[in-house]
Chains A and B, each alone.
Chain A
Amino acid sequence: MTLKPSQSNSCRYGGCTLTGALSVTTHVRDAVTVVHGPAGCTHHNFSLFHATSLDNDAPVIPNLVSTGLSETDIIFGGEPALDRTLDSVLPSNPGVIFVLSTCVVDTIGDDIAMVCGKERGVLVVPVPTAGFIGGTFEDGVNKALIALAGMAEGSRGTNARSAGNQNPGNHPVSANIIGEKNLEYELVENYTEVNRLLSAIGCPVNCRFVHDLTSARIATLGDAQVNILRDPALVPVGEYLKKRFKTPYIRSFPIGLGSPVFLETVAEVCGAESRDAVARELALQVETLGTFADLRGSTISFAPALVDPKAVSAAKQLARALDMPVRKNGLAVPLPTTPPVGIAGVRRLLHRWRRAIHA
């Protein structure tokens, strides 16, 4: 990006709503996602997801079907193209069909809900996206997650929990992971770290909502005792799930050295024991920081970049923990695009700092 965003127009740079929603729907493996718009929009996203899946060693090809709107469709309306496309994907027997709109079709005013409402013998879920007209990338993620949560009707969890009693029947505890950033380069590593922490307090993952699952799996969404949001931008989704399933939520993955607090909070919500796990985590943090003792005293600065402010806070916390003064004329070290998750994220970041100091 070459234009510095101002606070007032930062939503301009929030990415495409369509891409955000696709990052969710393409992870429902038995689904077909229809993108209603020109083929170029679908290609751009398909290519992006293809690249990301290769980065994450998971070369799964998402089923993205474009309605392939031409100039003629744009002039006379794209609804027949959507209707035709929906019919064309039926022979592949998808578990569900998601229909996502692009900014082009919102501009020309196609009635997507009407076309999706036609009976086809398979669930057709329209997700209101519409590119930049629909909002930002994060808006797209939230809209898709909420649309998909609507498929979890009849979940056992709906009636199993009552307010103020998170685990009424002393069922085995479990957690849902909500809104993983499926396009994130460190996706696997961040999940692994959170799963490690949850395992330490005996709280396995119930459902990764939404990462590499089937439409049937979504029905278990209400079974967990707690929802762990990937980051606070997902609070609207957390609130929706809390209202729908009475499941409390944790606002974010643990950032930087915040894992002990994360463990205590999750354990408290689930009614689990955390004291030993917290002690072990604190010891691991001391041990890990000890392996970077050579960085102590190095004067650093943070390379200018468009990053999450919480990533800057986490970096400052790390610098303090290692007695590394942060000065304008210090050696520039990289900031993570998103805050480092847990001690594993801290370790990877400190390796990058060491690399920056050495080379």
Chain B
Amino acid sequence: MPECTNPLWSCAMTGAASCLAGFRGLSVVIHGSSGCYYYPATLLHARLYGTFILENEVIFGTEDRLKEVIESLPGDTRIAVITTCVPSILGEDIRSMLSDQDVILVDSPGFIGDVEAGYRTALATLAPVVDPATSGINIDGASLFDPFSRGNVQECTRLLGIAGVPVGTIFAQDALHKVWKAASFTIGTNEDFRSGVGTYLGGMLGFSEIQATFERIAGVYADADIDPVCREITEERERVIYACDKYLRRYDPPTVAIFAGASYAQFAAELLNRYLDATILCVRTRNEPPPGGRYPAARIAGLSDVRACIGQYEPDLVIGSSFERSVCPGRAFVGITPPLRGRVRLAHQSLAGIGGTLHLTEDVLNACMDRKPAVH
């Protein structure tokens, strides 16, 4: 990455931690400095361990310190070690150091990439296994990095439940042993954190996608009864249409700038365009957008790019993180992108599932009405 003012996205080490720390029965050790430890520890709200290495260990080697920490960990869990930048640069053979320990070693220094790269590296290191004997449907896309992750899982679990479909393994928010006993099929809550495990049946962002995904579930899971889910989609879609129509009776559709991960960005753009006739002025993503999305997206790295973009397009509504909120005073704002600072958040809100679409719609309408956009 070239020089960048106020980088917006976390590093690969944080991404690896956001994956591994989601699994119960796994103690995650950040092998690096205290600075590398404190950020994921506070952002992810997860129990993490650290080696907190010092200068003399950089000079003379980190083996003793790493072993000291590992030996102090609870004995009833497996251990994962994530290497940060300095141990990676030092080039120590950590795998050999720990050859007598049952340790999962994830080499994910921050400089190799961003949070998604670290997440993928960590999950690939765990090497999930599909067990054809496991019943149900896996849910993937969960990441402690995503403030909507827990809500997404709850909502998808609810929907699978009312369809009579058991939940397989939740990536990455489940018991560790289930990583190696995953079901054969998977649905996704956030495609930026795809697991690649099993046959992918579709995502859970937006009514149309949910409907299509459940129809595929019915095709592969004979005992599924998707009618209750389809009825709920129909009912809730009507409520969304009614609320958006009521808004449009008084106000012009908002013009919108979206700053998010690629998956959530496309979801938000589609929702607002379809139900609110919103004009999507720009979609700027934190990660590399996949080619061919309906709404052309481009990746940006720093807050100065965000500021320039908002200045250029002058949107009524900004969707993004609290970084974006801080540079768009006076504009309607809805937060879907981490970090979401400066707000108390206790409930597990979702973006995936039927509840997620309702949640985003009501947030957008309330934000726009609070700002009272001009009537032309």
Residues on A lying within 8 angstroms of B by beta carbon are: 1-3, 9, 11-19, 37-44, 46-48, 50-51, 54-55, 59, 61-71, 74, 81, 84-85, 88, 103-104, 107-108, 131-133
Q: Contacts A64-B5, A66-B4; is A38 near B48 (CB within 8 Å)?
A: no
List, in ascending order, chain B residues with CB within 8 A of A50's CB: 322-323, 326, 339, 341
List, in ascending order, chain B residues with CB within 8 A of A81's CB: 3
* B167 interface residue (CB < 8 Å to A): no
Determine if A48 and B4 form an interchain contact, defined as CB atoms under 8 angstroms apart: no
Determine if A19 and B7 form an interchain contact, defined as CB atoms under 8 angstroms apart: no
* B9 interface residue (CB < 8 Å to A): yes
With beta carbons under 8 angstroms apart, the residue of A15, A42, A62, A63 that contacts B34 is: A15
Q: Contacts A38-B110, A40-B13, A50-B323; is A66 near B35 (CB within 8 Å)?
A: no
**Closest Cβ neighbor of B5 among chain A residues:** A65
Determine if A3 and B54 form an interchain contact, defined as CB atoms under 8 angstroms apart: no
List, in ascending order, chain B residues with CB within 8 A of A17's CB: 35
* B177 interface residue (CB < 8 Å to A): no
CB distance from B145 to the nearest CB of A (A): 12
List, in ascending order, chain B residues with CB within 8 A of A41's CB: 11, 35, 110
For B326-357 the 0/1 string (1 means CB < 8 A from A) is 11000000000001011000000000000000
List, in ascending order, chain B residues with CB within 8 A of A61's CB: 6, 303, 326-327
* CA distance in complex: A47, B111 (Å): 18
Determine if A48 and B39 form an interchain contact, defined as CB atoms under 8 angstroms apart: yes
CB distance from B342 to the nearest CB of A (A): 3
Determine if A40 and B326 form an interchain contact, defined as CB atoms under 8 angstroms apart: no
Q: Contacts A65-B3, A66-B7; is A44 near B339 (CB within 8 Å)?
A: no
Determine if A13 and B39 form an interchain contact, defined as CB atoms under 8 angstroms apart: no
List, in ascending order, chain B residues with CB within 8 A of A54's CB: 322, 326, 341-342
* B97 interface residue (CB < 8 Å to A): no
With beta carbons under 8 angstroms apart, the residue of B14, B35, B111 that contacts A131 is: B35
CB distance from B91 to the nearest CB of A (A): 11
* CA distance in complex: A16, B54 (Å): 11
16 A-B pairs besides A1-B41, A107-B90 with CB distance below 8 A are A3-B69, A9-B54, A16-B34, A38-B110, A46-B303, A47-B339, A50-B323, A51-B339, A61-B6, A61-B327, A63-B6, A66-B4, A81-B3, A103-B58, A107-B86, A132-B55
A-B contact pairs, 28 of them (CB 8 A): A3-B52, A12-B34, A15-B34, A16-B34, A19-B38, A38-B11, A39-B11, A40-B7, A40-B10, A42-B4, A43-B8, A43-B10, A47-B10, A47-B39, A48-B39, A54-B326, A55-B342, A63-B5, A66-B4, A68-B1, A68-B2, A71-B112, A74-B111, A85-B3, A103-B35, A107-B58, A131-B35, A132-B53
* CA distance in complex: A341, B252 (Å): 52
List B residues 171-186 near A (Cβ within 8 Å). none
* CA distance in complex: A124, B342 (Å): 33
List, in ascending order, chain A residues with CB within 8 A of B86's CB: 103-104, 107, 131
List, in ascending order, chain B residues with CB within 8 A of A38's CB: 11, 85, 110-111
> Could you say which of A3, A9, A55, A81 has the most chain B C-beta atoms within 10 Å of its C-beta?
A3
Q: Contacts A54-B341, A61-B326, A104-B86; is A132 near B33 (CB within 8 Å)?
A: yes
CB distance from A31 to the nearest CB of B (A): 13
* B96 interface residue (CB < 8 Å to A): no
* CA distance in complex: A104, B13 (Å): 14
* B99 interface residue (CB < 8 Å to A): no
CB distance from B223 to the nearest CB of A (A): 43
Determine if A88 and B54 form an interchain contact, defined as CB atoms under 8 angstroms apart: no
* CA distance in complex: A11, B88 (Å): 22
Determine if B89 and A2 form an interchain contact, defined as CB atoms under 8 angstroms apart: no
Determine if B50 and A3 form an interchain contact, defined as CB atoms under 8 angstroms apart: yes
Determine if B35 and A44 form an interchain contact, defined as CB atoms under 8 angstroms apart: yes
List, in ascending order, chain A residues with CB within 8 A of B5's CB: 63-66
> Could you say which of B4, B10, B322 has the most chain A C-beta atoms within 10 Å of its C-beta?
B4
* B72 interface residue (CB < 8 Å to A): yes
For B287-312 the 0/1 string (1 means CB < 8 A from A) is 00000000000000101000000000
With beta carbons under 8 angstroms apart, the residue of A43, A51, A64, A103 that contacts B85 is: A103
User: In terms of DSSP, what is the predominant structure of the interface of chain A?
Assistant: helix
* B12 interface residue (CB < 8 Å to A): yes
* CA distance in complex: A48, B89 (Å): 25
CB distance from B184 to the nearest CB of A (A): 36
* B105 interface residue (CB < 8 Å to A): no
* CA distance in complex: A89, B343 (Å): 32
* CA distance in complex: A16, B2 (Å): 24
* B275 interface residue (CB < 8 Å to A): no
**Closest Cβ neighbor of B109 among chain A residues:** A38
* B372 interface residue (CB < 8 Å to A): no
* CA distance in complex: A245, B253 (Å): 62
**Closest Cβ neighbor of B43 among chain A residues:** A47
CB distance from B142 to the nearest CB of A (A): 21
Determine if A40 and B111 form an interchain contact, defined as CB atoms under 8 angstroms apart: yes
Determine if B3 and A66 form an interchain contact, defined as CB atoms under 8 angstroms apart: yes
* CA distance in complex: A11, B43 (Å): 23
* CA distance in complex: A65, B90 (Å): 26
List, in ascending order, chain B residues with CB within 8 A of A74's CB: 89, 111
List, in ascending order, chain B residues with CB within 8 A of A70's CB: 1, 111
* B359 interface residue (CB < 8 Å to A): no
* CA distance in complex: A114, B88 (Å): 26
For B138-161 the 0/1 string (1 means CB < 8 A from A) is 000000000000000000000000
Determine if B1 and A131 form an interchain contact, defined as CB atoms under 8 angstroms apart: no
With beta carbons under 8 angstroms apart, the residue of B13, B49, B303, B341 that contacts A51 is: B341
CB distance from A106 to the nearest CB of B (A): 9
* B250 interface residue (CB < 8 Å to A): no
List, in ascending order, chain A residues with CB within 8 A of B85's CB: 37-38, 40, 103-104
List B residues 103-127 near A (Cβ within 8 Å). 110-112
Determine if A3 and B7 form an interchain contact, defined as CB atoms under 8 angstroms apart: no
List, in ascending order, chain A residues with CB within 8 A of B72's CB: 3
List, in ascending order, chain A residues with CB within 8 A of B55's CB: 132-133
List, in ascending order, chain B residues with CB within 8 A of A88's CB: 3
With beta carbons under 8 angstroms apart, the residue of B2, B3, B11, B33 that contacts A43 is: B11
List, in ascending order, chain A residues with CB within 8 A of B53's CB: 12, 132
* B95 interface residue (CB < 8 Å to A): no
* B67 interface residue (CB < 8 Å to A): no
Determine if B89 and A108 form an interchain contact, defined as CB atoms under 8 angstroms apart: yes
> Could you say which of A19, A42, A43 has the most chain B C-beta atoms within 10 Å of its C-beta?
A43
List, in ascending order, chain A residues with CB within 8 A of B54's CB: 9, 11-12, 132
List, in ascending order, chain B residues with CB within 8 A of A13's CB: 34, 52
